[in-house]
Amino acid sequence: MRKASILVLSLLVVLSLWVPSVAAAEKIKIAGQFGLVYAPLMVAKAHRIFEKYGVEPVWKEYGSGGAVREALISGEADVGFMGIPPFLIGWDKGCPWKIAMGFVVVPIGLVTYDPEINSLADFKPEDKIAVPSPGSIQHILLAMACEQQLGSATALDNNLVAMPHPDAAAALISKKGIKAHFTTPPYLFEELSQPGFRLIVDDVSIFGHPFSFNVGLATETFYNQRPVAYSIFVNAIGDAMAWINQNKQAAAELLAPEFQLSVEKTLEYLEWEGMNYTTAPYGLMGFAEFMYEAGYISKVPESLADIAFDNVLALIGQRAGEMSELEKLQGK
Amino acid sequence: MLNNRRKVINKTLNQILFILALMLCWELLARTGWFPPLLFPRLSDVLRTLITDIRSGEIVGRLYFSLYLIAQGLALAVVTAAVAAVLALCSPIVSDWVQAVMAILHPLPGISVLPIIILWLGTGPRSIVAVIWFSSVWPLIANLHTGLRSVPATQIEVGQNLGLKGVRLIGKVLIPSAFPYILTGLRVAWARAWQASVAAEMVFGASGGEGGLGWFIYKKRFFMEIASVFGGMFVIIVVGLIVERLCFEWVEARTVRRWGMTLE
């Protein structure tokens, strides 16, 4: 009796593990995050763009690039979005994936309210700086700025606190616990709207030119075994981006309730200087070179083909002779 | 006695062999290549990175910091619990209050109060100490309270007849008599403090300079050094075992067992 019930139980467990993987054929599992950056995902969802191409998207939301990475490795997601640094850390450690598209270019920077702090050199050991997580694009940009201004990439590592954007924004605005926050829209805009809050370092001054804040990735398995679904993924996200760029007012109306902001505020944020929803990638190699020099990864991609799928390579192109503008923008 | 000791040794040997077999299975399973090493690293790789992390001093510093915070949190909890239990012993009204507060707050996991603690105390070691205190103080009070109340009235009266009063009565009669409970309380409190310190750091990610083992694991997770994540877990297990097996059993053997009053 007892043996029989154990047998039935283990059969049930095996079946429950096996069945979903068979049934999920027509679905694309998409791992995103939350925030203004992910507006194209919200538009694709609201306008049912994937459904128009005949596939069913499964939307999953995670709290950090690290969590998206884990979802992709464990097979919980087919495609996902994260900053270039978490992508490169995974690539360095052998994750079988490549970049399928650039995602957005957004302003990003280090905000403080403390009138005493005017540059990175003014941070005292007890002044806390919030970033979403170690190894995030915010952390890597801060390390880049530290190397440029203070001579060492790890100069402020002991000041770091890992906090999700909403918590850190609340803490900074109430001037409690942290002195500065390395952040992105809409939190960046919200913080900069407060009296006395200002940027002490920004993206372009660190990197030299704009770069993709996020990239879309797909696993090699997905790319090789489901080429149609892969193309649909690239096209559907592109459609959503083009719609936002051309219909800012309508996009603001659609997105405002999601962010619990007024339509005017959302529109102001969408039209903020520097915002650019584009599938063209920028800065792919620049991050890799810095992260290698600073010891965050153990190797540099030999060429873009190591880290990007063919559609991305075609988009960037390969000019005979001197590099084209877009090619140059991949470096630092 | 000798026979008993042999039994204990046999049991330990049996357990060690089983664990070693499990470890061997792990290594072999990882070597089959059925699972990507990113998800399931080899045990040998885990041990190798653990040695590197120990040599570089990183894990030792993190461990020291974790233990330092736990010591602070536990010490505060012991003082709080002692005061509460003694007050409860002196007055039945306070005893009712203590029981009521305990009934309300004991079921609350320490980690769930973290958001409030961050708001009040900020994101620093202070908040982690507060979470450790909150996690360990209730089991301590519960055991102290029960322990002190379960001291037989005759024992107290004998003590009083011998002329013991106040602090000396507590030290000579009440504490030894309630010691099995006190020890149980400390054991539970230690386990919960250890868990709370790691959990708290993994939720809010302590600041880089002053993080313990939780922060170590958290950071390694984001840099995808899975072998180091396992290494951090190993250290937590080993320290837990050492404290449980060496410290608590040592105290137990020299106190309650010698006095012939184990609860088992």
- Sheet containing strand A198-202, edge to edge, reads A160-162, A129-131, A180-183, A109-112, A198-202
Min Cα–Cα distance to chain A from B207, Å: 4
Q: How many CB pairs under 8 A join A and B?
A: 68
Distances from the Cα of B59 to the Cαs of A16, A197, A279, B7, B166, in angstroms?
A: 40, 38, 42, 37, 46
Helix, strand, or coil here: A98? strand
Contact A163 B38 (CB under 8 A): no
Question: pTM higher than 0.95 for the full model?
Answer: no
Q: Is the pLDDT of residue B204 over 80?
A: no
Contact B222 A86 (CB under 8 A): yes
Contacts of B225 in chain A (CB under 8 A): 93
Dump pLDDT digits (tens) for A41-60: 999 999 999 999 999 999 99
Per-residue confidence (pLDDT) for residue A21, from 0 to 100: 47
CA dihedral angle for residue A149, residue A151, residue A154, residue A160, rounded to 10 degrees:
-20
Contact A157 B118 (CB under 8 A): no
Higher pLDDT: A35 or B64? It is: B64
Question: Which alpha helices (H) appear in B150-225, and where do they start and end?
Answer: 153-161, 166-169, 175-204, 213-222
Per-residue confidence (pLDDT) for residue A155, from 0 to 100: 87
Contacts of B36 in chain A (CB under 8 A): 73, 94
What is the average per-residue pLDDT within B156-184?
Answer: 82
Go through chain B and tell me how many residues it has: 264
Higher pLDDT: B230 or B151? It is: B230
Residue of A nearest to B227 (CA): A93
Contacts of B123 in chain A (CB under 8 A): 128, 161, 163, 171, 177-178
- The two tokens of residue A200 are 């002490």
What's the count of helices (H) and strands (E) in chain B, helices before strands? 12, 0
Per-residue confidence (pLDDT) for residue B1, from 0 to 100: 55
- The two tokens of residue A187 are 């939190």
Contacts of A71 in chain B (CB under 8 A): none
Per-residue confidence (pLDDT) for residue A22, from 0 to 100: 46
- A326: contact with B, CB 8 A cutoff: no
- Give the Cα separation of A50 and A138 in Å (integer): 31
Distances from the Cα of B31 to the Cαs of B19, B42, B188, B229, B249, in angstroms?
A: 18, 7, 38, 19, 38
| Residue of B38, B123, B210 lying closest to A94 (CB–CB) | B38
Min Cα–Cα distance to chain B from A254, Å: 32
> Which residues does B contribute to its contact with A (CB < 8 Å)?
36-39, 118-119, 122-124, 204-210, 218-219, 221-225
| Residue of B36, B124, B221 lying closest to A66 (CB–CB) | B221
Dump pLDDT digits (tens) for B46-100: 999 999 989 988 899 889 989 999 999 999 999 999 899 888 888 889 888 988 9
Using only C-alpha atoms, what is the Rg of chain B?
22
Contact A134 B222 (CB under 8 A): yes
Cβ(B141)–Cβ(B188) below 8 Å? no
- Give the Cα separation of B3 and B7 in Å (integer): 6
What is the average per-residue pLDDT within A84-88?
Answer: 94
Per-residue confidence (pLDDT) for residue A20, from 0 to 100: 47
Dump pLDDT digits (tens) for B221-241: 888 888 999 999 999 999 988
- Give the Cα separation of A195 and A192 in Å (integer): 8
- Give the Cα separation of A244 and A252 in Å (integer): 9
Contact B123 A178 (CB under 8 A): yes
Residue partners of B161: CB distance under 8 A and separation at least 6: none
Of B62, B65, B223, B225, which to mutate for an interface test with A (greatest number of A Cβ within 10 Å)?
Answer: B223
| Residue of A161, A176, A296 lying closest to B205 (CB–CB) | A161
pLDDT band at B264 (very low <50, low <70, confident <90, very high): very low
Min Cα–Cα distance to chain B from A70, Å: 9
Residue partners of A94: CB distance under 8 A and separation at least 6: B36, B37, B38
Rounded to a whole number, what is the distance in angstroms from the first to the last CA of chain B? 17
Contact A177 B223 (CB under 8 A): no
Dump pLDDT digits (tens) for A196-239: 899 999 888 888 888 999 999 999 999 999 999 999 999 999 99
Per-residue confidence (pLDDT) for residue B256, from 0 to 100: 78
Contacts of B222 in chain A (CB under 8 A): 64, 66, 86, 89, 133-136
Per-residue confidence (pLDDT) for residue B57, from 0 to 100: 86
Q: Is the pLDDT of residue B123 over 80?
A: no
- The two tokens of residue A293 are 């020099």
Q: Average pLDDT, whole number, for chain A?
A: 88
Cβ(A244)–Cβ(A124) below 8 Å? no
Measured in whole angstroms, the distance separating CA A118 from the mean position of its chain's CA atoms is: 28
- Give the Cα separation of A72 and A55 in Å (integer): 19
pLDDT band at B211 (very low <50, low <70, confident <90, very high): confident
- A160: contact with B, CB 8 A cutoff: yes
Side-chain-side CA neighbours of residue A175 (13 Å): 7
Contact A86 B122 (CB under 8 A): no
Contact A157 B209 (CB under 8 A): yes
Residues of chain B with pLDDT > 70, as a percent, come to 95
| Residue of B36, B208, B218 lying closest to A159 (CB–CB) | B208
Per-residue confidence (pLDDT) for residue A18, from 0 to 100: 53
Residues of chain B with pLDDT > 90, as a percent, come to 27
Strands (E), chain A: 27-32, 56-61, 79-82, 97-105, 109-112, 129-131, 160-162, 180-183, 198-202, 214-219, 276-277
Peptide bond into A186 cis (omega under 30): yes
